[in-house]
Amino acid sequence: MVRLFDDTTQEAFGIVPLDRAKALAMERELDLVEVAPQAQPPVCRLMDYGRFKFEALKREKESRREHNVITVKEMKLRPKISEHDFQTKFGYVKHFLEDGDKVKLTIVFRGRELVHQELGRRLLDRLAEDLREVAMVERNPLVEGRNMTMMMSPAHKKASRAAAPRSEDARDHQPGAEPAGPVDTEGNPTDAKDSQP
């Protein structure tokens, strides 16, 4: 005996013998799926199991796409870095931040360079100043052993694909958007040639 439901018609059959449930599944060309085996009696559903799995996979993909994953990238620099190398690394850091990732900047001191920590701090301050349009300092420079680290995060969160308009016409339907051409007394756009007094 099983408690039987039909997912396609939302019909509840109540408690029926297992043979009857199988016969109904074959008759309706559906799958008999046990959803609560520990219940007394066990609960079964008539459903298109292939379609159910496909839709579940589709929902999972959608939620994964909309979920904004923030990763932390690390960029290592030396206190005596040349201008060209600085510009190259600056470009990478800016690219990471524009993609929505956090960046951990690490100045690596070797030997006697540790005495001149102000060079590393100046370098990090310069990076923070140059990136102020796209990032903000999440954690100020901090000395950890022979390294000085600073954490930066994107200033603006990246818009999800679902929130972005799909076409040019989407802007016209947004509240507060100004119409492109002439409007009638109700605020609806009109064609200048067809408008009559």
Same-domain pairing of 48 and 118: no
Q: Which domain holds residue 38?
A: 2-64
User: Quick one: 76 and 147 in the same domain?
Assistant: yes
In sequence order, what DSSP letters do the residues of 5-73 get, joined into one string?
A: EETTTTEEEEEE-HHHHHHHHHHHT-EEEEEETTSSSPEEEEE-HHHHHHHHHHHHHHHHHHS----EE
Residue 140 has pLDDT above 60, yes or no: yes
pLDDT tens digits, residue range 59-74?
A: 888 877 766 667 888 8
Q: Is residue 197 domain-resident?
A: no
Mean pLDDT of all residues in the chain?
79
149 shares its domain with 100: yes
Banded pLDDT at 190 (limits 50, 70, 90) = low
**Residue 131, C-beta contacts closer than 8 angstroms, at least 6 positions apart:** 90, 93, 94, 97, 152
Residue 142: which CATH number? 3.30.110.10
Helices 83-98 and 117-130 cross at an angle (nearest 10°) of 50
Residues facing 108 on adjacent strands: 147
Statement to judge: residues 57 and 84 lie in one domain: no
| 32 contacts 25 by C-beta, under 8 angstroms | yes
What is the count of structural domains for the chain? Answer: 2
Residue 84 has pLDDT above 90, yes or no: yes
CATH no. for residue 11? 3.10.20.80
In the chain, % of residues over pLDDT 70: 77
Residue 191 lies in a domain: no
Pair (91, 130) in one structural domain: yes
Q: Would residue 182 count as lying in a domain?
A: no
What's the chain's Rg over C-alpha atoms?
31
82 and 49 together in one domain: no
- The string of pLDDT tens digits covering residues 31-60 is 888 888 888 889 999 988 888 899 999 988
Q: What pLDDT band is residue 87 in, cutting at 50, 70 and 90?
A: very high
Strands 43-47 and 2-6: parallel
Task: State whether 90 and 150 are in the same domain.
Answer: yes
